[in-house]
Amino acid sequence: MDDEALVRSGIEMILKAARDIDVVATANGGDAMWEISLHRPDVVLLDIRMPDVDGLTILNEIRAMQEPTVVGMLTTFDMDDYITAALQNGAAGFLLKDTDPAQLARAVRALAAGAVVLAPSAARLVLDGAGEPRTEAAAKIDRLSEEERDVLRLVAAGASNDDIAARLTRSTSAVAEQVVAILGKLAVESRVQAALLAQAAGLTDEVSGP
């Protein structure tokens, strides 16, 4: 979903070249929710700032759905305030508009698989500024068992449930249940929010774990 027809066409062309990705619709901001409600896609790529309806408004509407679609935000690097707001409001990650075509397809696959997707060139900037105070974040992390902390480290690294299951030699369904339990203990709504909390607490700096 983007307000520029040329950008929408370019993204559609790139993703349609991937045999395992089906582009069901493209739209500007004003038509986005209608298309999403009609097609119920697995993943939505959503521009953050559009002139008719901004991406954050659409994101909040998607998150209010009974079964929210996974959302990856599209942005330019100089819009980190918007990026932080999107991640804190339930976006599964963000991509830069100049992302390499092959990486764009991989990112869509990762989003569909439940992974956190953060553009490498901007991830550190966002994570450094998006977390809550370290002591408060650490207090929340202390609610987790060591096994749950291991899972959270991998979530924060962008791993999908399948990736975590393979890494920790567990079933994907068991990992999915554990991730849900972790989100509940941390009082967050999404994997990205959990990743930001882990970063703020310094969990991703620890050398222990898998």
Name which of 97, 116, 92 is nearest 164 in CA terms: 116
* Secondary structure (DSSP) of 156-181: HTT--HHHHHHHHT--HHHHHHHHHH
Structure tokens at 31: 């038509």
Decide if pLDDT at 128 tops 70: no
Tens digit of each residue's pLDDT (9 = 90 or more) over 73-118: 887 755 667 777 787 788 888 888 878 888 888 889 988 888 878 7
What percentage of the chain reaches a pLDDT higher than 90?
23
> What is the pLDDT, as a whole number, of residue 1?
64
Q: pLDDT confidence of 208, banded at 50, 70, 90?
A: very low
